[in-house]
Amino acid sequence: MIRCSWANDNQLLSTYHDTEWGIPIYDDCLLFESLTLELFQSGLSWIVILRKRDNFRRAFDYFNIGSISNYNQIDISRLLSDSTIVRNRLKIGNTVNNAQKTIQLQKEYGSFSNYLWSSFRDDSGSFNSILLSKDLLKRGFRSLGHITCNSFMQAVGLINGHSRDCYLFA
């Protein structure tokens, strides 16, 4: 079975590729989780984040957007002292901010999923990470440049990122 080349180095990566990556997600909580993990991955290897994913879920209230949007300095201090996750003050603060902005999108579009799946097609009909990044940043989201958005969009199935020879490409 031929996979995308990045998924061949490790069983955890292979399993993630085969069972999750690129499969369309419509659940707001799972979408926010993926967006947040991509934010934390910036500058690191994806395997580092994947190995810590269960710890991230526990530490961030299983990515309950409402809970995270209400985090205060005590919560941020708790996260900064949690050695089982990536402890980066800026990324933690940006996650809280992004949860607050996600709630605003939910109010405007009915769900974060509706916002994502209805908005960011380019002229060719494919989804565009540059447009997504620009719109999110304009709305006050942080640390979501077009490369991070592209990785996110591939992970949640908005963009088909599988290599042409990958058995999941079609």
Known catalytic residues are: 16, 38, 46
Beta bridge partners of 121: 127
SS3 state of residue 127: strand
Q: Is 95 helix (H, G, I), strand (E, B) or coil?
A: helix
Cβ partners under 8 Å of residue 54, min gap 6: none
DSSP for 60-127 reads TGGG-HHHHHT--HHHHHHHHT-TTS---HHHHHHHHHHHHHHHHHHHHHSSHHHHHHHH-B-TTSSB
Name which of 158, 165, 119, 168 is nearest 38 in CA terms.
Answer: 158
Residue among 119, 123, 99 at smallest CA distance from 133: 119
Rounded distance, CA 141 to CA 94, Å?
8
